[in-house]
Amino acid sequence: MMENQENNMNNRKNYSEAVNTMGKKEFTLIKMQEYGFWPKDLPTPYERQENETKEQYKQRKSLLEKYEKVIAEIDKLYEEKDKINSKLRELQKKYDETWDYERIRLDVSKAIMEESIKRRAERKRQRELEKEQRSEAWKKEKGNKIVFIGKGYSSLLYHKETDEKKLLSQELPIIKDDKELANFLGIEYKQLRFLVYHRDVISIDNYHRYTIPKKKGGVRNIAAPKPILKSSQRRILEEILSKIPTSNDAHGFLKGKSVVSAAKVHIKKPELLINIDLEDFFPTITFERVRGMFKSFGYSGYVASLLAMICTYCERMKVEVRGEEKYVKTSNRILPQGSPASPMITNIICVKLDKRLKGLSSKYDFIYTRYADDMSFSFTADINELNVGSFIGLVSKIVKEEGFNINKDKTKFLKKNNRQCITGIVINNEEIGVPKKWIKRLRAAIYNANKVKNSGEIPSVKVINEISGMTSWVKSVNEERYKDIINDAMNLINS
C-alpha cells in the first residue's frame, strides 16, 4: 500500500514537471497521441497544413474541439488544485508546531461552520432578492392588467385565447382583454377593476337588496344593481346575450312572448296538465355556469371570467363591526334576481334543458312550455295509455342532469275536470282567461271605488293604481272576453 502511494506521488510529481516544462497545450497533445485520441499521422494544431485532405481537415476540426474542452478542464482542475494547495499550506503553517488534534478538529469544524453559515446567508440574500424582484414584477403586472378577481374565481384568468371566428359568426363583439372590455362597457378602467373583484366582506355594496313576498308564503330575495353596474349588465344584454338564440319553448323575458303566449301553445281542456316548478332557479345558476356560457360563445377564459363577475353576485348579511356597517357574504356567487341580464342568461343556459324536455314530451304526446322556472306539460292523447310515473321519472332525470332540481311540493297534476292553469291563466274553458276570483276581486274594487266617487269623495291613488294594474292584466289575457269589465274600469279611471 505504501509502495502504491509512493508511486502515485512520483507520477503526480512527474506530471507537474512535464506540464511546467512543456506547457499545458503541448503536454495535452502528447498525452492525447499517447492514448490514441490524436492520430500520430495527423498534423498537429501547430504545423502548417499544406497537403491536408478534406477528410483530414474535418477530422482535425472535430479533434480540435475536444482538445479545447480538455484544455479548459485542465485549467479548471489546476485552478482548484492551487486553491487546495494554498489552504493546505495555511493549515500546515498553522499547525506545524502542534500535535493538538482536538484543537485542529475544533478549528476545522469552526471553519466549516463559518463557511456553511456564509453560504446560507448568501443563498438567503439571493432568495430575498429574487422574491423582491418577483414582487416588483407582480405589482407592475397588477397595475397594467387584472390578474386576480377573488379567491375561487381566478382559475381561468391564464386562458387568453379568443375564438374570433366563432364570435364573428354570431355577430358578437370581439373583446380580448380587460382594457377592451372597459371600452365596450363604456366605463373607466378603475371602475371595471372594482366591479369584477370579489370580496367576502365589503363596506360598499353594488346592489340595492330587498325582499318581496311570494304568493304562497315566504319571501323572494331581490338584488337590484346600482347605476354603473346596471348599465354594464344592460350593455352585455343588448350587445351579447340578445344575439344568442334561445329555445322556441321558452316564453319568459323574451320579446313577443309572455305567460299568455305560453298558455296559448297548449290545447284547451287537455286530458292532463302537469305543472312543475324548478327549485331555487336563479341561485342554482352559479358563477361557474355563467362563465362557461360566455366561454362557449368564443370568449377567452379571461374575458369570460370578467363578464361572469359582472353578471353574478353573492347573498350578503349586514353586520356591524366597531360601529361600522359591513356586508358579509353568505353564499357563493350566483345569478341575481333584479339584474337586467339575468333573465336572458337563464334562457340561454336552459336551451339544452328545453330541447331534451321537448323531445321527451313529443315521445309521450305531451306539449311542453317553460316560463322562467315554471314548466308545463299538457297531455293530448288517451290518458289510459299514459305511464305518468315513467314520464315524470324521466323529466326528473333530465332536470337533474342539466343542473337543476324539481320543487316536489309545487308539482301539480290537473285533469280536465279540475281548473287547469298555466302561470295564472286558465286554459280549460272555451277560451283562455283568468281565474274567476280575480274577476270578482276586480269587480268589487270597481264597485267600491264608484261608491266612494258617488258619495262625493275621490278614490285614493292606491285604489286607482290597483284597479289599473288588474285591468291591464285582464286585457292582456283576453281583451274580447272581458271587454265589459275593462270598459267599466276605464270609465272609472278616466273620470
pLDDT in tens, 324-367: 889 999 999 999 998 999 999 999 999 999 999 999 999 999 99
Residues 384 and 321 in one domain: no
Considering the domain boundaries, does residue 134 fall inside one?
no
Strands 207-213 and 219-225: antiparallel
**Do 300 and 223 share a domain, yes or no?**
yes
Residues 425 and 314 placed together within one structural domain of the fold: no
* 299 in Cβ contact with 175 (< 8 Å): yes
**Do 333 and 222 form a contact (C-beta atoms < 8 A)?**
no
Q: Where are the alpha helices (DSSP H) in 221-350?
A: 227-239, 259-265, 281-284, 287-297, 301-311, 342-349
Q: Residues 177, 317: one domain?
A: yes
Give a yes or no: residue 95 inside a domain: no
For residue 479, the enclosing domain spans 434-494
Do 269 and 305 lie in one domain? The reply is: no
Which residue shows C-alpha cell 330575495?
A: 221
Residue 100: band (very low, low, confident or very high) from pLDDT cuts 50, 70, 90 = low
108-113-116-117 Cα dihedral, nearest 10 degrees: -140
pLDDT digits (tens, 9 = 90+) for 163-196: 999 999 999 999 999 999 999 999 999 999 999 9
CA distance 217 to 151: 36
- Same-domain pairing of 205 and 322: yes
pLDDT per position as a tens digit, 389-420: 999 999 999 999 999 999 999 999 999 888 99
DSSP code per residue over 398-416: HHHHTT--EEEEEEEEEET
Q: What is the mean pLDDT of residues 435-457?
A: 92
Closest CA to 343 of 311, 314, 313, 315: 311
Nearest alpha-carbon partner for 244 in 193, 169, 194, 191:
169
Q: How far is CA 243 from CA 192, 236, 459, in A?
A: 23, 10, 46
Q: Which of 268, 301, 334 is the last residue of a domain?
A: 334
> Is the pLDDT score of 6 beyond 60?
no
For the chain, give the mean pLDDT.
86
pLDDT band at 268 (very low <50, low <70, confident <90, very high): confident
Higher pLDDT among residues 244 and 135, named by residue: 244
457 and 383: one domain? no
Cell 337586467 sits on residue: 340
DSSP for 324-371, please give it: EEEEEE-S--BPPBTBSSHHHHHHHHTHHHHHHHHHHHHHTTEEEEEE
Q: What is the pTM of this model?
A: 0.72
Residue 62 within a domain: no
CB 154 within 8 A of CB 309: no
**What pLDDT shows up at residue 228?**
96
> Is residue 73 assigned to a domain?
no
Query: Coil, helix or strand for 461?
Result: helix
Residues 264 and 404 in one domain: yes
**Chain centroid offset of residue 248 CA:** 29
Residue 219 — very low, low, confident or very high, per pLDDT cuts 50/70/90? confident
Cβ atoms of 453 and 492 within 8 Å: the answer is yes
User: What confidence tier does 101 reach under pLDDT thresholds 50, 70, 90?
Assistant: low
pLDDT tens-digit series, residues 184-193 = 999 999 999 9
Same domain, 426 and 461: no
* Domain match, 386 and 444 both: no
Q: How many domains does the chain have?
A: 3
So what's the pLDDT on residue 193?
94
| Best-predicted range by mean pLDDT (4-8, 210-214, 318-322) | 318-322
Coil, strand or helix at 225: strand
- The verdict on residue 154 lying in a domain is yes
Of 172, 194, 171, 175, residue with least CA distance to 183? 175
Indicate whether 299 and 213 sit together in one domain. yes
Domain termination residue (choose one: 413, 432, 451): 432
Please give the pLDDT value at position 211.
Answer: 83
pLDDT beyond 50 at 147: yes
Residue 136 lies in a domain: no
d(CA 383, CA 369): 20
Task: Return the half-sphere exposure (C-beta side, CA atoms, 13 A cut-off) of residue 379.
Answer: 20
Residue 445 in contact with residue 463, Cβ under 8 Å? yes
Contacts of 97 (CB under 8 A, 6+ apart): none
**Is 257 part of a structural domain of the chain?**
yes
Question: What is the pLDDT, as a whole number, of residue 2?
Answer: 44
pLDDT at 210 over 90: no
Query: Would you say residue 182 lies in a domain?
Result: yes
Grid coordinates 278616466 are at which residue?
494
Which of 399, 424, 441, 413 minimizes the C-alpha distance to 477? 424
